[in-house]
Amino acid sequence: MDWRPSGYMLSTKDLVHAIFDANSDAGKLLVKATMGEVELFAAPKSWNAILWLITSTLKVDGAPVYSGIKLGELKSSLPIVWRAD
């Protein structure tokens, strides 16, 4: 018998809260997902919103703090299944 944790679909707003506010409900779900207690899903377009937010706000001397490679590493490190439904 296969066991899978409960799954939750994150909206773009939830994803922003999950990544940038560990005390939010979505942030707590993200922590649970890292422990394998829940499974999180999000649409690829939600990641685009995160990219825009990071590259628009996190800058030093007008240049983005994170390179494309680092952003890709961030995305792949998140315990989120990216799926378009």
- What 8-state DSSP symbol labels residue 23? T
Q: Are 40 and 33 in contact (CB under 8 A)?
A: yes
Is 0.95 surpassed by the pTM of this model? Answer: no
Note the pLDDT of residue 15. 95
Say if CB 40 and CB 7 are below 8 A apart.
Answer: yes
pLDDT at 1: 47
Sorted by where each begins, the domain ranges of the chain are 6-82
What are the start-end ranges of the H helices in the chain? 12-20, 25-34, 44-57, 68-77
pLDDT digits (tens, 9 = 90+) for 25-84: 999 999 999 999 999 999 999 999 999 999 999 899 988 888 889 999 999 999 999 998
User: Is 82 in contact with 47 (CB distance < 8 Å)?
Assistant: yes
> Which tens digit of pLDDT belongs to each residue from 3-21?
788 999 999 999 999 999 9
